[in-house]
Structure 1
Amino acid sequence: MTLHDILPGKLGFGTAPLGNMFRAIPDEQARATVEAAWEQGVRYYDTAPFYGAGLAEERLGEVLATKPRDAYVLSTKVGRIVLDEHETDVPDFGEKGGLFEHGNPNKILHSWTADATERSVEGSLERLGTDRLDIVWVHDIAQDFHGDAWLAKFEEARTGAFRVLSRLREEGVIKAWGLGVNRTEPVELTLALDEPRPDGFLLAGRYTLLDHEHALQRLLPAAVEQGVEMVVGGPYSSGVLAGGAHFEYQQAPPAVLEKVARLKDLAARHGVSVKAAALQFSLAHPAAAAAVPGATRPERLAEDTAALDEPVPAAFWHDLRAAGLVSPAAPLPAGV
């Protein structure tokens, strides 16, 4: 079964912002945003225990509890267990440090073992208030990629999380599993394994208008060859492509802001919204099954839906490539 067989459309909803990413948002606003996604026809929702130490799962589950369970697809992640005890020190989340400082105060345990995977799934089911998950991603095993440290995490996940999730898939408990990461290396390594075999992967921020060269080199050709599909996470590059100030979970540096300005200028000349360019570029790759932008305001969901269907002239894509703003190896939307 492929991700295309499971997912109900090209546009999903990523719930990291509901975990109070970067800033605190009121519960009422979070609920209204999920309701807006539903009203816009979004039927795929992605979340994770890491998002606000369970806060995003709780908020999402509260709204989805009012919807028919068979009407939507739900994915979450394993690799972080939300503990009952509260954090007293500043948690070490590496490159994602401080990202969810406004989330729940619970401590988070990092572990990709078999036992931790089962505990993580049980915790997510409870917070989401549901009896089943459709897709489970193995979260962030290559965070802070450097040296050999991540290889130990990968081996722990290979002998733990990968095998547990493969068993759950075989038993029909879940429909699919894969990696949910913001690095290409662990997915490349996983695709090189004889077993366990993933069904797909969620790649955050690594197949966008601003960052796609590395994914195009080895990962995506291997994925297409093996029929393993991708969910594009963070298609707006942490928000900087949608009018925000963040890139890679930090304040966007001058070089990124300069490239965004060039993209905006080119888009304006063609009467194209940057959101439309960003979404449609990411989804043009044959490995892409869906994209899951996040939001904290209800009106953003209407923007995303409109961006997905917005007519974009072929001349825009040709000028984008001619200006060197996208790789010549990147597939462009059909008909270009």
Structure 2
Amino acid sequence: MSLKDILPGRLGFGTAPLGNMFRAIPDDEARATVEAAWDHGIRFYDTAPFYGAGLAEERLGEVLAGKPRDEYVLSTKVGRVVLDEHETDVPDFGEKGGLFEHGNPNRILHEWTADATERSIEGSLKRLGTDRLDIVWVHDIAQDFHGDAWLQKFEEARTGAFRVLSRLRDEGVIKAWGLGVNKTEPIELTLALDEPQPDGFLLAGRYTLLDHEHALTRLLPMAQEQGVDMVVGGPYSSGILAGGTHFEYQQAPAEIVERVGKLKALAEKHAVSIKAAALQFSLAHPASAAVIPGATRPSRIAEDTAALNETVPATFWTDLRAAGLVSPAAPLPNNA
């Protein structure tokens, strides 16, 4: 089934920040943010056990427990099993460093086997307080977490998580499955397999105004050919395109800051918000089914909704391309 047939709209809510990513967020602020997403009509929520060792799932589930289950689409991820015991060592998150150092203290088992996949889903259902999931992503089987060992993790997932999720989809337990990663290569490899294919993928940070060339030339043609849809995660490139200072989950380097400055100057010239430019660019590709920015404050939800609906003049997009700030091959809104 196509993701576009499943998803209720083009704007979803990514809950990684609710796992206390970068900072400790008060419970009432997290709760108000999810409520704001609901009040603004957002009905697609994406989460993961990895986000704060289950904290994001718990916070999301607390609010959604009071909403009609048939009125929203819920996705989570497998590959991390949250254990009852507490972590005693500093977790190794590869390039991501202390991403969720303010999350729950629980130890996490990083495993993509069939058994771990079943356990991961069981834990997610409990934390979310629901009896079913709509979409399940295989999380982070890529270089940014595993370095040169990523192909071993991929093979573990191929013979474990992929087969479990294919079976659950065929049995009607879930509606769709795919990969949720920050790199394109695992998805390219998956699309080249002869085994049961994913229905879509969640690609974080790789189809944004700041980084889209690789996905555009290698991954997305394969996806379109196979009818596999993309959910765009991290459309603000870890926050740098929304007024923050992070890029790729770390402090943005000077060249990125300079590029963002050029984007913002062009946006100001056309009286366009940079958030509108970022969201609408990510959605302009035919493979894009939805975009899921994250937020930790209710006001950010209002900004995202306004950005999606903002009228951006065609001259902005043509000037953007003329300035060399996007790939010549990138599809733009309004057929610019």
TM above 0.5: yes
User: Secondary structure of the residue that 1:334 maps to in structure 2?
Assistant: helix
Matches within 5 A, 1:17-96: 17-96=17-96
Deviation at residue 218 of structure 1 after TM alignment = 1.1
Matches within 5 A, 1:105-184: 105-144=105-144, 148-184=148-184
Match of 2:188 in 1: 188
Q: Which amino acid aligns with 2:44?
A: Y
- In 2, Cα distance between the equivalents of 1:144 and 1:282? 22
- In 1, Cα distance between the equivalents of 2:49 and 2:78? 8
Match of 2:197 in 1: 197
Q: Which amino acid aligns with 1:48?
A: A
Match of 2:284 in 1: 284
- In 2, Cα distance between the equivalents of 1:198 and 1:146? 22
Q: Which amino acid aligns with 1:181?
A: V
Match of 1:267 in 2: 267
Q: Which amino acid aligns with 1:8?
A: P
Once the two structures are overlaid, the 10-residue window that deviates more, 191-200 or 141-150, is 141-150
- In 2, Cα distance between the equivalents of 1:335 and 1:287? 15
User: Secondary structure of the residue that 2:34 maps to in structure 1?
Assistant: helix
- In 2, Cα distance between the equivalents of 1:110 and 1:99? 16
- In 2, Cα distance between the equivalents of 1:150 and 1:104? 26
The unaligned stretches of length 5 or more in structure 2 are: none
The unaligned stretches of length 5 or more in structure 1 are: none
Deviation at residue 148 of structure 1 after TM alignment = 4.3
Identity of aligned residues (%): 85
Say whether 1:239 aligns with 2:239.
Answer: yes
Q: Which amino acid aligns with 1:296?
A: T
Match of 1:221 in 2: 221
Q: Deviations over 1:190-249 (max 9, x none)?
A: 000111210000000000000001101110001011100000000000000000010001
Residues 2 and 84 of structure 1: is their aligned pair in 2 closer, same or farther, counting only changes over 3 Å? same
Deviation at residue 3 of structure 1 after TM alignment = 0.3
User: Secondary structure of the residue that 1:91 maps to in structure 2?
Assistant: coil
User: Secondary structure of the residue that 1:201 maps to in structure 2?
Assistant: strand
- In 2, Cα distance between the equivalents of 1:210 and 1:283? 14
- In 2, Cα distance between the equivalents of 1:269 and 1:50? 40
Matches within 5 A, 1:273-312: 273-312=273-312
Q: Which amino acid aligns with 1:303?
A: E
Contact residue 94 and residue 146 of structure 2 kept, 8 A: no
Say whether 1:206 aligns with 2:206.
Answer: yes
- In 2, Cα distance between the equivalents of 1:70 and 1:40? 17
- In 1, Cα distance between the equivalents of 2:9 and 2:205? 20
- In 2, Cα distance between the equivalents of 1:328 and 1:129? 46
User: Secondary structure of the residue that 2:299 maps to in structure 1?
Assistant: helix
Q: Deviations over 1:159-216 (max 9, x none)?
A: 0000000000000000000000000000000000111210000000000000001101
Contact residue 37 and residue 301 of structure 2 kept, 8 A: yes
- In 1, Cα distance between the equivalents of 2:243 and 2:140? 26
* Regions of 4+ moved over 4 Å: 145-148
Match of 1:252 in 2: 252
Deviation at residue 89 of structure 1 after TM alignment = 0.9
Contact residue 166 and residue 177 of structure 2 kept, 8 A: yes
User: Secondary structure of the residue that 1:138 maps to in structure 2?
Assistant: strand
- In 2, Cα distance between the equivalents of 1:195 and 1:88? 39
Q: Which amino acid aligns with 2:29?
A: Q
Residues 143 and 124 of structure 1: is their aligned pair in 2 closer, same or farther, counting only changes over 3 Å? farther
- In 2, Cα distance between the equivalents of 1:245 and 1:15? 19
User: Secondary structure of the residue that 2:333 maps to in structure 1?
Assistant: coil
Q: CA RMSD in A?
A: 0.9
Contact residue 58 and residue 127 of structure 2 kept, 8 A: yes
Deviation at residue 147 of structure 1 after TM alignment = 6.5
User: Secondary structure of the residue that 1:118 maps to in structure 2?
Assistant: helix
